[in-house]
Amino acid sequence: MAIKLIVGLGNPEPRYDRTRHNIGFTLVDKLAKDWGMSWQEQKKFKGSLAEGGRAVKLLKPLTYMNNSGQAIRAVVDWYKLTAEAVLVVYDDMDLPLGKIRLRQSGSSGGHNGIKSTIAHLGTEHFPRLRIGIGKSRPDKDTVSHVLGCFTPEEAPLLQAVLQLASDAVVTAVDYDIPKSMNLYNNKNAVVL
């Protein structure tokens, strides 16, 4: 099944910019820039949509993370897409920074944005790309970690993992999810 929509999960307010929880937004912003696409807020979709340049659309839900499925469902219905044509990108604390994991389907793994997506699409059968943000330190609570910004020391690895994730998405779009999984699921981002 060809990918027609790539959704980056995140929260819309400026205070969430560059936070770990918004890495999905960060990746689709990179894709939009790389592909020469511009964002347009679409009230009917409850999100910002980027089109042009490629036969795929990009979406940033503006519903906040826990209600991401509302925006995804609106775009899926409008463009008559199947769930299998939607690739959702989001943060994962169980993966270290520098790792990604692409899957064709699966459970929410406790991620509220994915729970909402599953509820609104009515299925777990849609591809997803998890980008590792690492676990919180013992002296820092989980919420502060997830909603915190990456440190200056992490910046080079963050840029490297965003490039790795971008390469995985391009392969998934140009070929398919299994090929991208085979090429990228065991790779580590490398700082040059």
- Tokens at 55, concatenated: 């036969």
Establish how many alpha carbons lie within 13 A of residue 98's alpha carbon, considering only the half-sphere containing its beta carbon. 11
Q: Look at residues 93, 87, 95, 98 and name the one whose alpha carbon lies nearest to residue 187.
A: 98
| Residue 21 falls in the annotated catalytic set | yes
Q: Look at residues 96, 187, 186, 184 and name the one whose alpha carbon lies nearest to residue 133.
A: 96
Hunting for tokens 């929509």 — which residue is that? 5
Residue 42 CA to residue 75 CA, distance in Å, equals 10
Q: Which of 21, 111, 120, 145 is catalytic?
A: 21
Residue 138 CA to residue 116 CA, distance in Å, equals 29
- Tokens at 177, concatenated: 């999810």
User: 168 near 129, Cβ under 8 Å?
Assistant: yes
**Residues carrying an active site annotation:** 21
